[in-house]
Chains A and B, each alone.
Chain A
C-alpha cells in the first residue's frame, strides 16, 4: 500500500510498504477513505518531538471502512463493512483511566511504555503515527490502518453525512471541544483563544456552544491569512498580533480585568519571532537546550484574569524555560490540559452534527491525493494558499 513516511526532519516521502495485517486477536484492518494532516504532525516532521525513527508512517486522523476483523472482536460493536472514525488515542476501555473517562492516559495500549515511564514519569496511551513515545504504531496517512482493540476503538458512523462532516471526530473537533469544556465556562465569561488553526477554530465554536459571553481569537493575519476571518465568521472578536499588542487589547476588551478563560491552541512551535522571549526560545531550541517554544503559554498565563482558567490543548513535548510560575501562583490560576480523551466526546459531538448545530466540514480548505502528501505538508507548514486544513484521499 501507499503510505506517508518520515525520513528526517523536514523530509517526508510517499512510499510503498507492506499492507498491515492482524497482529492481536481483537485487531481490525480499516480501508481509509479520508485522513488528515494535523498541526501536531508538523511537530513530529520538524523534529520537535524526539523518538521518531526513519521509516515511521505518520497520521492519526482517519476514517474508513472496516475490511477485516480479528477472531475475538465483539461483533455487536463493529462489523466488516461498517463506516468508522478512529480516535487518535488508542484506549482499552478497561483500565483505571479509561473507566474514568481519561482515555488518553490508557495504561494498556502503549507497547513502548518504558519511554514514557522515563520521560514523563508514566507512559500515556498508544497513538497512531505519533513517535515511539506513544508506542510506535504505524500511522493513518496510508491506504490501510491496523486498529487494536477494534470493538473499543472503531466508532461506527451513520451513512448520511460526508467524510468531511465526520472525519474530525477522530481528533480536532473533540480536542477543540475538550479545550473549552474543561474550563467550566459561565455565561458572562470572556474566552480568549490563542491560535486560529483547526483546533482553535473548533475551540472558538465550542466555547460559544458552551455559553461564553464573548470569544476573542488571536492569530497573525499576515503569517496565516484567512484564519482570523474564519474566526470572525463564527462571531469571534479578533486580535491580529501582527500589528496589535495582545495584552493591551485583551485588557481593553475586558474592562481591564483580563479574560476569564485563556486557551493555548498553539503549542510548542509558536512563532511570534518579534518578541524577545520568542527569540530566546528559538536560540535555545536550536542549541538543543530546550525542546519546546512556550512563547504563547507565557502570554496566556500573563493575560489571564486573577483566579481564571488556563487550558492547553496545544501540544508540548518536553521541557520549557521561563514559565511565569509567579503569575500562575499569585493570581491563583487553574491549569487544565491533556491529550484529548476522544472516546468520551464522540457520541455527544456526533449528536451535535446530527442536530445541525455544527457542520465540521467548514474547516477544510484542501482535499488532495495521498500521493501529494509531501507537497501538502509544505503548504500547510508555510500556510500558503490559505491552507487551514488538508484532508488526504488515499484512493485518488
Chain B
C-alpha cells in the first residue's frame, strides 16, 4: 500500500522510503534504457554499422563496431555505461520503484504565487482536475476516472513520441487547503506533487504553493539540455501558475495568438505558436 505520509511535505525528497539500490542492481540483465532511447539507439547504431562497413577502412571497422554495440543496447535495453554511472532511463513498474526513481533521479520544482481570491474558490477549481489544461500549457488533457484516479496526457517533443500519458491518483485531499497526487506504477512518467492554499496577510488573498517531483523521460542530462533550450520546468511552472492566477482573478489568460503581424516582405500574417 502507499504510505499516505509520503509526498505530503514540501520537500518530498526527505520523506520517501530509503533507497534499495542493491536490490535494484542485483538482477543481471536489468533493463536501464527507456523505450524511446532504445529505438533511437538501435537506429543510430544500424546506420553507423552500415556506414562503417561500406567505408572498409580501419576507422570504418571501428565505427561499425560502435554501431553494433548501439544496436545491441537498443535491442536488449541494457547499457553497461549506464550501469556504471547508475543511470536508468527505463520506466518503473512497482510502487517502490516509483518512490525510488523520484528520489534518485527526480527533478524537484517549487513555485509560489499570490492570488487575490479565497482559498476555497482556488481549491474548488483545481480539484476539478479536468480544468487544469485550461491554464497548463503543456497539458493536453486530464480525464477524471473516479474520485481519486485520473488519466493525464501531456505534449512532449516528437522524439519522445509527441505525448506522454500516465495515470495518477490523489494521495491526500484536504478541502480548501491541500491536494497531493502521484503517478501510478507503470506510467509513462514518474511524478508526484502537491498544491497548498494558505491565507495571505490582510486582504491580499491566498498564497498558493506548488511543489512537484518528476523523473525526466530523457534523464537528468536530457533535463539539462532542455533547460539550455528554454524549457526550464521551474519557469514553466511559474508561467502555468501565473495563467492560473489570471484565470481566477480576471477570467481569462492573456494571449496574442492569432493577432496580426508583418512579414517585412509585404504580405503580413497571423501570429502563431505564441501565447
User: Which A residues form the contact surface with B (CB < 8 A)?
Assistant: 1, 3, 5, 7, 13, 15-21, 23-26, 54-57, 72, 92, 94-96, 99, 107-114, 117-118, 126, 135-138, 142, 146, 148-149
Contacts and interface: CB of A to CB of B under 8 A. Distances in A.
B254 A108 contact: yes
A114 B249 contact: no
B245 to A, nearest CB: 7
B161 interface: no
Contacts of B275: 111-112
A157 B164 CA distance: 52
A135 B257 CA distance: 11
B268 A108 contact: no
Contacts of B238: 113-114, 117
A113 B268 CA distance: 26
B259 A96 contact: no
Of A92, A108, A148, which is in contact with the most chain B CB atoms at under 10 Å from its CB?
A: A108
A135 B256 contact: yes
Contacts of A110: 254
Contacts of B239: 113-114
Instruction: Kindly list the 8 A-B residue pairs having the minimum CB-CB distance in the complex, ordered from nearest.
Output: A17-B268, A5-B262, A7-B264, A55-B262, A17-B260, A108-B246, A111-B254, A15-B262
A94 B254 CA distance: 14
B258 interface: yes
A247 to B, nearest CB: 45
A108 B268 CA distance: 28
Contact of A15 (B235, B246, B257, B268): B268
A146 B262 contact: no
A107 B250 CA distance: 10
Contacts, number: 119
24 contacts: A1-B260, A3-B260, A3-B268, A5-B261, A13-B264, A15-B266, A16-B266, A16-B267, A18-B260, A18-B270, A19-B260, A24-B252, A54-B262, A55-B264, A55-B269, A57-B262, A92-B249, A96-B204, A108-B250, A114-B235, A118-B235, A135-B256, A137-B256, A138-B256
Contacts of B250: 92, 94-95, 108, 149
A106 to B, nearest CB: 10
Contacts of B116: 94-96, 99
Nearest to A146: B259
B261 to A, nearest CB: 5
A140 B39 CA distance: 51
Question: Which residue of B204, B242, B254, B261 has the most chain A CB atoms within 10 A of its CB atom?
Answer: B254
B43 interface: no
B252 A111 contact: no
Contacts of B114: 96
A17 B250 CA distance: 30
A20 B260 contact: yes
A18, A25, A109 — most chain B CB neighbours (10 Å): A18
Given A55-B262, A57-B262, A16 B254 contact: no
Contact of A95 (B249, B260, B271): B249
A92 B262 contact: no
A216 to B, nearest CB: 42
A17 B251 CA distance: 29
A148 B251 contact: no
A342 B114 CA distance: 24
Contacts of B268: 3, 15-18
Contacts of B147: none
A394 to B, nearest CB: 14
A305 B194 CA distance: 54
Contacts of B174: none
A23 B257 contact: yes
A137 B259 contact: yes
Contacts of A118: 235
Interface of B: 114, 116, 204-205, 235, 238-239, 242, 245-246, 249-264, 266-271, 274-275
A136 B274 contact: yes
A72 B274 contact: no
A25 B262 CA distance: 24
B215 to A, nearest CB: 24
A15 B242 contact: no
Contact of B262 (A21, A56, A137): A56
A23 B249 contact: no
B251 A26 contact: yes
Contact of B259 (A112, A138, A149): A138
A107 B246 CA distance: 8
B267 A107 contact: no
Nearest to B247: A108
B270 A117 contact: no
Given A21-B258, A24-B255, A117 B266 contact: no
Contact of B263 (A1, A15, A20, A109): A15
A3 B246 contact: no
A16 to B, nearest CB: 6
A56 B256 CA distance: 12
A95 B248 CA distance: 10
Nearest to B261: A55
Nearest to B204: A96
A97 to B, nearest CB: 10
A126 B245 CA distance: 16
B267 A56 contact: no
Contacts of B257: 23
A57 B260 contact: yes
B233 to A, nearest CB: 12
Nearest to A117: B238
Contacts of A114: 235, 238-239
Contacts of A55: 261-264, 269
A21 to B, nearest CB: 7
The winner among B116, B252, B275 for most chain A CB atoms within 10 A is B252
A350 B145 CA distance: 57
A141 B267 CA distance: 17
Given A15-B262, A18-B268, 9 more contacts: A3-B262, A18-B269, A26-B252, A56-B261, A92-B249, A92-B250, A96-B114, A114-B239, A149-B252
A26 B261 CA distance: 21
